[in-house]
Amino acid sequence: MNQHRTLRIQDRRAFLRGSAWGAAATTVAGMGLPRLGFAETPELTSPASLPTRPAGVQVLMPRDRVPLSFIIDDSTCLVNMGHFCTPQFATAMPNRAEYQKPWRSWPREIPDSFVRQFGEWCAGQGVKGKYSIVPNPACVGWLDRELPGWSRADLQSSLKLVRDLMLPNWDIHPEMITHTRVIDLKTGRPMQQISPATMENSYPQEKKSVDELAAYLAYALRIVKNCDLPCEGITTPGGFGNSMKAELPIAVDQAVRDVYGVDLPHYFKYVISGDESTEPRLEHLRGVGTDDVRLTVNVPAGTGDWFGGWQGDSLSEPDRYCNAAATSGRMVELIQRRQPAVMICHWPGMYSNGSEEGFNSFKRVVESLASRFADDTIWMKVSEIARYWAAKQLTEIRREGNRLTLTAPFAAQRYTLQIAAAAGPVSLQHGNDRTLLSQATRRSTLDAGTWIADEQNLVACFDLPKGTSEVVVGSNA
């Protein structure tokens, strides 16, 4: 295991509180975590276990652009998690100052009108990411049954809004069952004891079997499925799983496959700081070289939460993501390093207890990034980033003259290859289907089904099918 990497991949809430980034946003880290040590992390895939590539052939990022994504934590239907979570954390950890805030004065609801406003604006800007749906938010009620304090029509309308408006551009994740109290799976009720040990943000505090951990994840996933919401991954609430970091990707794999039957589970838990790469990690990899490759993809964020915080009462610091001219900030740094630029927030911090200050700051960041980097970046859902990186690293490529044979365990959209000393035209053959790619006029117009070349390299972009396909360049295409 790479020990340097072990020290740099941190639980996001511990990172936000303990790093220089978190110093100005301690409450963002939130929800009851002490600073955590760097326990064992998942075993990362060794480069030796990955397929080798022919000389002169390189898999680039999709469309040769830097992926952007926006991870939203602590979201759900109607319930303002800042309002309902704070007193529960205060009971479990009464000495923490951030839980002594005037939560009664905060709105109990984040209305669907705000969800619509947010979702429609993001759709207009092409923003994509991950949107949590906490299944039993702060123990208020079960989203697949009833939500006390709201009518059944309110709940069903809220779920429909998520399905109709958010799903095209956002992955849906459970953020475990309640995000507050641990649920006894035998009874369906919160554990009787109230302490840090029975809060999901620090659960489990002792080792459990992979099966036990997977059962807890699956319980949350089934509620989301009962709400007719698709799902390919999970988000850990705070330090959930910190005592079982090596086992967590195995449990994610088992639970997501069992409940949803997806072929490529992923999860969000970590925040990356400093110079460490923000590229996704392939974990629990097995079956390479067979027709049944399986793994879990760990997609990290690369920023802190510098919007309104998990309680929605902090003032945003948008320049920490990107200043108005898009010349500085963490997102600018990652784009210029050509690494995935994934930013994170908490949903109450977008609503900002009704002022929408966090949302307005977010809009400024998105617009600033677009003003400078529109032709260099691409917004993607977290699942799309996970799938692309699995295909990027695991697709076997063989070259014979001007013909490349690709054996892909996973399909991926906008798969982009750079081939040295090659010339067009370019064709893609999969089974009996042959597609002749079109020549793009400039790099910024490169998209699926096109290619472009200069004196040194040819770059081809296409939707990669699962299985075996051939890319032919030059006169024989």
CATH number reported for the structural domain that contains residue 101 in this entry? 3.20.20
Do 411 and 453 fall within a single domain? yes
Give pLDDT, residue 477: 72
- 309 belongs to a structural domain: yes
Do 225 and 369 fall within a single domain? yes
Give the DSSP H or E segment for 418: strand 412-420
Q: What is the mean pLDDT of residues 197-219?
A: 97
Give pLDDT, residue 44: 62
pLDDT band (50, 70, 90) for residue 24: very low
Do 340 and 466 fall within a single domain? no
Number of domains in the chain: 2
Residue % of the chain over a pLDDT of 90: 87
Residue % of the chain over a pLDDT of 70: 90
pLDDT digits (tens, 9 = 90+) for 132-160: 999 999 999 999 999 999 999 999 999 99
- Written as one string, the DSSP assignment of 395-406 is -EEEEETTEEEE
Do 418 and 352 fall within a single domain? no
Q: What is the DSSP letter of 79?
A: B
Q: Edge to edge, what strands does the sheet with 266-268 contain? A: 233-235, 266-268, 294-298, 281-286
Do 219 and 252 fall within a single domain? yes
Rounded-to-integer distance, Cα 310 and Cα 180, Å: 13
Which neighbouring-strand residues pair with 450?
Answer: 438, 461
Query: Whose CA is closest to 176, among 234, 230, 121?
Result: 234
Q: Is 210 exposed, middle or buried (0-12, 13-18, 19+ CB in 10 A)?
A: middle
pTM of the model: 0.92
Domain range spanning residue 367?
A: 3-30+66-374
Highest mean pLDDT among 1-5, 48-52, 70-74: 70-74
Query: Whose CA is closest to 11, among 320, 174, 248, 257?
Result: 248
pLDDT digits (tens, 9 = 90+) for 62-100: 999 999 999 999 999 999 999 999 999 999 999 999 999
Q: What is the mean pLDDT of residues 42-48?
A: 62
- 46 belongs to a structural domain: no
The token pair that represents 452 in the structure block:
């472009």
Do 284 and 224 fall within a single domain? yes
Residue 393 reports pLDDT greater than 50? yes
Mean pLDDT (the chain) is 92
- 111 belongs to a structural domain: yes
Which residue in this structure is represented by tokens 């409450």? 27
Q: Which is more confidently placed, 138 or 24? A: 138
Residue 4 reports pLDDT greater than 50? no
CATH number reported for the structural domain that contains residue 415 in this entry? 2.60.40.1180
Do 407 and 349 fall within a single domain? no
Do 116 and 222 fall within a single domain? yes
52-55, long-range: CB < 8 A, 24+ apart: 53/397, 54/397, 54/398, 54/399, 54/404, 55/420
Query: Whose CA is closest to 293, among 269, 268, 265, 267?
Result: 265
Query: Whose CA is closest to 249, among 429, 415, 84, 41?
Result: 41
Give pLDDT, residue 47: 62
Residue 19 reports pLDDT greater than 80? no
- 38 belongs to a structural domain: no
pLDDT band (50, 70, 90) for residue 378: very high
Asked which of 18-32, 225-239, 371-385, 429-443 is least confident by mean pLDDT, the reply is 18-32
- 153 belongs to a structural domain: yes
